[in-house]
Amino acid sequence: MSSDAAIVARALEALDGAWEDEVRLLSEMVRIPSVVGREREVQRWARHRMEELDLAVREVSLPDEELLAVPGTFDPGIDGEGRPNVVGLWPGDGEGRSLALNAHVDVVDPGPREAWSRDPWSGEREDGWLHGRGAVDMKGGWIAIHAALRALREAGYRPPADLRFDSVVEEEAGGVHGALACLLALPRPDGMVITEPLWSHVVVGHPGILYFRVRVPGRSVHAALAQHGVSALHEAMPIVAALRDLDEHRARRHRHPLFERLPGCEGRSVHLVVGRFRAGEWPSTVPGEAVLEARLSWLPDETEEEVRREVTRTVRTAAEASAWLREHPPRVEWFGWRGQPWLQDPGHPLVELLRDAVAAERGDRPDVAADTAGLDARWAGQLGVPCAVFGPDGEGIHGANERVDLASVRTVARTLVRFIVSWQSLR
């Protein structure tokens, strides 16, 4: 048996022996509310877990002016102070390929408590599942990294190049203060793996994403004199319909096979969704303004400028059908999320070795795919770091009753053990 194979065998045995403790840690982690923007407590917890692995731990953050100078960034509207990234370094002692393993600790708000069948922060275990907000997105992936590094430590592994654990903030709001800050502040690794909950495939891409709002003016008057006003709500309806038509048109025109392989993504590579609509301030007043906010995705066959022009043209054309809006045109504003498309070469050794490692654990070699949601992986791609995404299986992501399949977390951890050793041994 080769030395690498012996290390892997010992590490897998160690991982299985410590698995119940890893499940306990996952439950602890889920019980720490870490809604995006409020990650300080969970990062303190993460630091202690890394120190227990004898990693060289440091906190990483960068000032906004440095982050926002990077092309494609945006102001996430969240203060970066007081919630640093926590990075654990296992220094290499030879020649090999360095690696960063990335997981975000922030979660989305659980929403109405009555929608959940149990406490959203319970961390309860039942029938092979662990429940709670963030269990699968993505604290399960965080624990998979921790379990893999712990097992390799116990097996006597000596990394031939730097091996890094990036516990990052703010992924749910775009990752500017999180993954981007780590990639800018630290030496660029030769590769990165992110353990987001993407289980069926190894993910190598995602679309560009833009947020925009349309402000539609009206003229407010008392409801008793409504004939003298102009309802911004009514004026906005044709614009909403035009954007729905644009969504369908774009879905037909922009397609890429990688973006239609994940379960549920068949037949659709891009989306335009009006996610918020607000009009008026009082039931007995004709609405003086309507504001709609939308999220649009786009593929590498377009440019950001082309996408923006298409949206602006669609709104303008819809408005020209209204005598009121011809004189009082709506305004398109771009805000929030602004992400470039990311596509990793599927034939890169990092992707191939990760697929091999999954196959060794699961018995099937997963295909590659692109996600239709945004990921921190785009920062790696933008900065020239090869990256792939693979993580645990679960349910209820961004919804009620989120839970993670514990067997899948274990499989991801065991996959990482195999992958780390094979990737780092490349010369």
Mean pLDDT, residues 250-265:
95
Mean pLDDT, residues 176-180:
97
Task: Name the residue type at position 312.
Answer: T
Phi/psi of residue 191, nearest 5 degrees: -165, 160
- The 10 Å Cβ neighbour count of residue 389 is 29
pLDDT value at position 157? 97
- Assess whether pLDDT exceeds 80 at residue 2: no
- Assess whether pLDDT exceeds 80 at residue 1: no
- Assess whether pLDDT exceeds 70 at residue 164: yes
- Residue 306 CA, chain-centre distance (Å), reads 25
The three-point CA angle 393-398-400 to 5° equals: 90
Among candidates 413, 395, 419, 361, which has minimal Cα distance to 21? Answer: 413
pLDDT value at position 345? 97
Mean pLDDT, residues 344-354:
98
Of the options 3.20.20.70, 3.40.50.620, 3.30.70.360, 1.10.10.10, the CATH number for the domain spanning 208-339: 3.30.70.360
Peptide bond into 50 cis (omega under 30): no
In this structure, the strands spanning 289-298 and 342-343 are unpaired
Among candidates 410, 376, 244, which has minimal Cα distance to 315? Answer: 244
Map out the domains of the chain as residue ranges. Answer: 3-205+342-424, 208-339
pLDDT value at position 72? 83
Task: Name the residue type at position 208.
Answer: G
Give the span between the Cα atoms of 321 and 324, in whole angstroms: 9
Mean pLDDT, residues 272-294:
97
Mean pLDDT, residues 26-54:
98
- Assess whether pLDDT exceeds 80 at residue 242: yes
Reported as a single tens digit per residue, the pLDDT across 128-154 is 999 999 999 999 999 999 999 999 999
CB 17, CB 41: distance < 8 Å: no
Give the span between the Cα atoms of 96 and 56, in whole angstroms: 19
Mean pLDDT, residues 302-331:
97
Mean pLDDT, residues 401-421:
98
SS (H, E, C) the chain: CCHHHHHHHHHHHHHHHCHHHHHHHHHHHHCCCCECCCCHHHHHHHHHHHHHCCCEEEEECCCHHHHCCCCCCCCCCCCCCCCCEEEEEECCCCCCCCEEEEEECCECCCCCHHHCCCCCCCCCEECCEEECCCHHHHHHHHHHHHHHHHHHHHCCCCCCCCEEEEEECCHHHCCHHHHHHHHHHCCCCCCEEECCCCCCCEECEECEEEEEEEEEECECCEHHHHHHCECHHHHHHHHHHHHHHHHHHHHHHCCCHHHHCCCCCCCCCCCEEEEEEEECCCCCECCCEEEEEEEEEECCCCCHHHHHHHHHHHHHHHHCCCHHHHHCCCEEEEEEEEECCEECCCCCHHHHHHHHHHHHHHCCCCCEECCCCCCCHHHHHHCCCCEEECCCCEECCCCCCCEEEHHHHHHHHHHHHHHHHHHHCCC
β-pair partners for 215:
291, 331
**What is the CATH number assigned to the segment(s) 3-205+342-424?**
3.40.630.10
What pTM does this model have?
Answer: 0.94
- Assess whether pLDDT exceeds 90 at residue 182: yes
Q: How far is CA 390 from CA 29, 116, 303, 419, in A?
A: 20, 27, 28, 12
Reported as a single tens digit per residue, the pLDDT across 71-127 is 889 999 899 999 999 999 999 988 899 999 999 999 999 999 999 999 999 999 999
CB 34, CB 41: distance < 8 Å: yes
pLDDT value at position 95? 87
Give the span between the Cα atoms of 309 and 312, in whole angstroms: 5
First to last CA, the chain: 20
Task: Name the residue type at position 70.
Answer: V
Task: Name the residue type at position 38.
Answer: R
Mean pLDDT, residues 340-360:
97
pLDDT value at position 65? 95
Give the span between the Cα atoms of 398 and 168, in whole angstroms: 18
Mean pLDDT, residues 244-266:
95
Q: What percent of the chain has pLDDT over 70?
A: 100
State the maximum Cα–Cα separation within the chain, in Å, rounded to a whole number.
87
Question: What is the pLDDT confidence band of residue 179, given thresholds at 50, 70 and 90?
Answer: very high
